[in-house]
Amino acid sequence: MKKKWDLRIPQILAAPIFFIALLFGILKISAQECPVLVSPTDGTTLVPVDASISWEAVTGVPGYIISLGTTPGGNDILNKRNVGTATTFIPEIGLPESTEIFITITLFFFNQPNIVCDNQSFTTAALSEAPQCAISTFPANDAKNVNTATNISWGSSPSATGYFLSLGTTLNGSEILTSTDVENSLNYNPPADLPAETEIYITLIPYNRIGLATGCSSTMFTTSPEAILPLCTTMISPVNGETNVPLSPTLEWNAVPDATGYRVSIGTSPFETNILDDAIFFKTSTVIIDFEPNRTFFISIYPFNEAGEAIGCTQETFSTALGCGPYFDPESGDLLVINPELSFPDSVLICLGNEFNIITATDEADGYRWFQLDDRGNETLLSTTSEVSITEEGEYLYEAYVNIEDSGILFECASSKIFKAKISQAPEIDDIKVQLSANSLNYEIITTTNGNYEYAIDNEEGPYQDTNRFTNISLQNHTVYVRDKAGCGIAERLVELDLTVNGFPNFFTPNGDGINDYWQFIPPSEINENNVSVIYIFDKFGTLLAQIAPNTKGWNGNLNGRQLPESEYWFKAVSNNNKLFKGHFSLKR
């Protein structure tokens, strides 16, 4: 999701990155490693001289610099070519035969030391035949109105060690340039302008130690009337090689006299134009929106006019360094990011009907932003502090950022996440189901409302539990509490212990623990005419086991000093007015 403030990503600090890490608690990503060759692999022999070289990509590395030489660490074949983030390189003129080639891969970083990796090597095969013909690339075959100041360029014949070049006004002619050994080059700049409005023939013959290429055809182009080509230009901003370039910079270059426009190409490697591809500008500046951070970009600018475009212009580079990482820490060997690591939850609860539902950030940061998201993902800013008031269910965006100052300019490194707000409400207790066990109670608490609740017994401060069931509760009165986890309220209810039917207990537990050890009539709280005078206790066969009076402890479950087993027992009670009560109860041990 792109936000308008995404473009304000902070610059990398000029201070050592490990110092930044100490200040902002930077998150470690992974230990730095050098890449290994993928093709050809280290130690490979009989490698074709036209082989391309590729290596593993390394996470968090902004770019690679490649050197090729015939000695360890040497650069006599290729000297420190910056290839951007590309992980493949094709030597333009091929490789020497029967030679051990040493490749040095350097990891390129911004405002900190580059890492020069250990040499890897492979050995090329011997040539077995003469080279193939090369193809002229500029001017193209049968091209018209070619400027008389043009250069001549051609594609590589990889097994060639040199080229013979002839230029003439007739097929296979050489009156402009007799057959000349231009060595292992891929272009030629004639010392003088070519004749105007003339057909020019190019004859190009590659050679190596085995011999000359055979059957090579000439190509032809026609020059334009005499005209003056514009010269090349150079960058003003950013200058060639500049780092710390803003992500949305204004690109500006020097004006060239007699130029009517400029063709501009930008890529992330010397061989790509994936940012701008031959775009035409009629002024000397342009704004590029949202460059990727921590990248090297390669820019080519060719002024042009009616005579054609400038010849031989040099590619220039600049690097952005405004991202928040990952960066390599040379002290620890780790990749680091500056963005805050978020611990904010995926969802939060808000209270139904509460106009002041306050949500607080859980992360340490220099600043915060809270957005409400609609069904289309559009954002409405709600707060720029560590707290936000949320009154509706839905999706929201939370952002925390740290401020980084560089050269007097303040930038941000931000992390964000989408979370959901869900409605909760104060609990209401509907019922408490009580279940009797041998010497304890079990509760199940039923609420009339739905919410994210927790439960406690006898103490409003807790401890609370997530389940609404309590087991092994003592045989006495208890108060239960139901609390909304979002702080929307607490409900409570007293559960009075009633173990009798009309004063006669429905069970007792004569196990000697001092609780409910005797079965005895418990007079109701109100005095009435049904006060009991005597109680008879029977087993299930009708055998009289005991006779008790209301003013005694009651029956202890024994017969003649012997404990009777767990079972159902029956009673018959006679009131003072000779009214008869019958029932049964359980003996539990």
Structural domains of the chain, with CATH: 28-123 (2.60.40.10), 136-223 (2.60.40.10), 235-320 (2.60.40.10), 347-424 (2.60.40.10), 429-495 (2.60.40), 500-587 (2.60.40)
Q: Where are the beta strands (DSSP E) in 437-489?
A: 441-447, 453-457, 469-473, 478-484
Handedness of CA 542, 546, 548, 553 (dihedral sign): negative
Q: In this predicted structure, what is the pLDDT of residue 329?
A: 59
pLDDT in tens, 113-123: 788 999 999 99
- Helix/strand/coil for 550: coil
Q: Which residues of 8-20 are buried (b: 16+ CB within 10 A; e: fewer)?
A: bbbbbbeeebbeb
Q: Which residues pair with 563 in a beta bridge?
A: 558
Mean pLDDT in residue range 283-298: 83
Q: In this predicted structure, what is the pLDDT of residue 26?
A: 38
Q: In this predicted structure, what is the pLDDT of residue 111?
A: 56
Provide φ and ψ at 23, rounded to 5°: -70, -40
Pairing state of beta strands 358-360 and 162-168? Answer: unpaired
Please, what is the Cα angle at 524 between 519 and 526, to 5 degrees? 160
Q: In this predicted structure, what is the pLDDT of residue 326?
A: 62
Pairing state of beta strands 409-424 and 347-351? Answer: parallel
Q: In what order do the strands lie in the sheet with 441-447?
A: 429-436, 441-447, 469-473
Average pLDDT, the chain: 85
What burial class does residue 406 get, using C-beta atoms within 10 Å of its C-beta: 0-12 exposed, 13-18 middle, 19+ buried? middle
Res. 499: pLDDT tops 80: no
Res. 504: pLDDT tops 90: no
How confident is residue 389, by pLDDT bands cut at 50, 70 and 90? very high
What burial class does residue 204 get, using C-beta atoms within 10 Å of its C-beta: 0-12 exposed, 13-18 middle, 19+ buried? buried
Q: In this predicted structure, what is the pLDDT of residue 439?
A: 61
Percent of the chain residues topping a pLDDT of 70: 87
Res. 171: pLDDT tops 80: yes
pLDDT in tens, 425-482: 889 999 999 886 656 788 999 999 877 899 999 999 989 999 999 998 876 788 999 9
| Residue 250, amino acid | T
Mean pLDDT in residue range 133-162: 91
Q: In this predicted structure, what is the pLDDT of residue 500?
A: 54
Spatial contact of 267 and 273, defined as CB atoms under 8 Å apart? yes
Distance of CA 80 to the CA centre of its chain: 33
**pTM as predicted:** 0.48
Tokens found for residue 585: 């109860």
Q: In this predicted structure, what is the pLDDT of residue 296?
A: 84
Q: How many CA atoms lie within 13 A of 115 on its CB side?
A: 19
| Residue 577, amino acid | N
How confident is residue 22, by pLDDT bands cut at 50, 70 and 90? very low
pLDDT in tens, 533-571: 899 999 999 999 999 988 889 999 999 999 999 999 999
Q: In this predicted structure, what is the pLDDT of residue 333?
A: 61
How confident is residue 530, by pLDDT bands cut at 50, 70 and 90? low
Res. 28: pLDDT tops 50: no
